[in-house]
């Protein structure tokens, strides 16, 4: 997860109808979020749903509030439902800085940690943990497939980073830089690979997504 940015202009159907899922809302969110789920950062294709940061069940007044609407994939939207209403808002938090996001290959787990002890940080960490590692001790099939996909993608990224570290040519640098473009998936995890390998200065121009 990373910081998100939303266009300042509110889609007109939110002002003129009682719907929250007008075509103009979906189109604007697709553009603003670079066609990715704001939680897992996978490309959305045709599998996207409007996700209420604060759920409709508990916050009916925010049902049509532009700042409360995001696009999520079906997996994340259904898993979140109304269980995580007190999450960080990605519009005003540099989530990639405040939540460390890593794949722990040796333990076959995703790990999420934060130094900040308030409820929104803790809840967001708890949500990510459940999505990637499962609700029970063992992942159910969907959770396992979700995790495996994330692991594969991060494996490919790590290979490119390692190649650049061994042979820092401009061609190898470009391969890593391309993976860090805002259109790409899993930037929150990639951010911590860059930091863990002390490459944040090298790629400082690439890792500023939505920050200004």
Binds Zn ion by CB under 5 A, chosen from 1, 25, 29, 39: 39
Place of tokens 């005003």: 92
How far is residue 169 CA from its own chain's centroid?
30
Binds Zn ion by CB under 5 A, chosen from 29, 40, 50, 186: 40
Q: Interacting stretch for Zn ion, rule CB under 5 A, among 39-47, 99-107, 110-118, 180-188?
A: 39-47
Contact flags string 62-81 toward Zn ion, x per CB under 5 A: -----------x--x-----
Q: Interacting stretch for Zn ion, rule CB under 5 A, among 37-45, 57-65, 192-200, 203-211?
A: 37-45
Decide whether 21 or 202 has the Cβ nearer to Zn ion. 21
Strands 100-104 vs 69-72: parallel, antiparallel or unpaired: unpaired
Q: 102 and 120 in contact (C-beta within 8 Å)?
A: no
Nearest partner of 53 among 41, 39, 42, judged by Cα: 39
Strands 100-104 vs 109-113: parallel, antiparallel or unpaired: antiparallel
Decide whether 39 or 69 has the Cβ nearer to Zn ion. 39
Nearest partner of 55 among 65, 63, 47, judged by Cα: 63
Contact flags string 135-164 toward Zn ion, x per CB under 5 A: ------------------------------
Distances (CA, A) of 29 to 15, 58, 72, 206: 16, 23, 10, 22
Using the rule CB under 5 A, is 37 a contact of Zn ion?
Answer: yes
Q: Interacting stretch for Zn ion, rule CB under 5 A, among 34-42, 55-63, 172-180, 187-195?
A: 34-42
The residue ranges that bind Zn ion (CB under 5 A) are 37, 39-40, 73, 76
């Amino acid at each position: 997860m990373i910081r998100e940015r939303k266009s300042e202009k509110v889609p007109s159907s939110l002002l003129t109808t009682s719907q929250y899922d007008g075509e103009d809302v979906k189109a604007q969110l697709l553009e603003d979020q670079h066609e990715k789920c704001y939680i897992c950062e996978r490309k959305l294709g045709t599998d996207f749903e409007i996700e209420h940061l604060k759920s409709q069940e508990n916050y009916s007044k925010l049902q049509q509030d532009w700042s409360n609407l995001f696009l999520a994939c079906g997996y994340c939207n259904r898993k979140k439902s109304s269980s995580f209403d007190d999450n960080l808002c990605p519009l005003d938090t540099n989530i990639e800085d405040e939540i460390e996001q890593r794949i722990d290959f040796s333990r076959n787990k995703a790990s999420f940690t934060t130094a900040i002890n308030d409820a929104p940080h803790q809840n967001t960490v708890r949500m990510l943990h459940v999505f990637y590692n499962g609700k029970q001790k063992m992942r159910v099939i969907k959770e396992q497939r979700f995790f495996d996909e994330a692991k594969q993608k991060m494996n490919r990224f790590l290979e490119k980073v390692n190649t650049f570290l061994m042979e820092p040519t401009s061609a190898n640098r470009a391969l890593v830089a391309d993976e860090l473009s805002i259109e790409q998936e899993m930037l929150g995890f990639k951010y911590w690979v860059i930091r863990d390998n002390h490459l944040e200065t090298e790629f400082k121009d690439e890792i500023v997504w939505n920050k200004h």
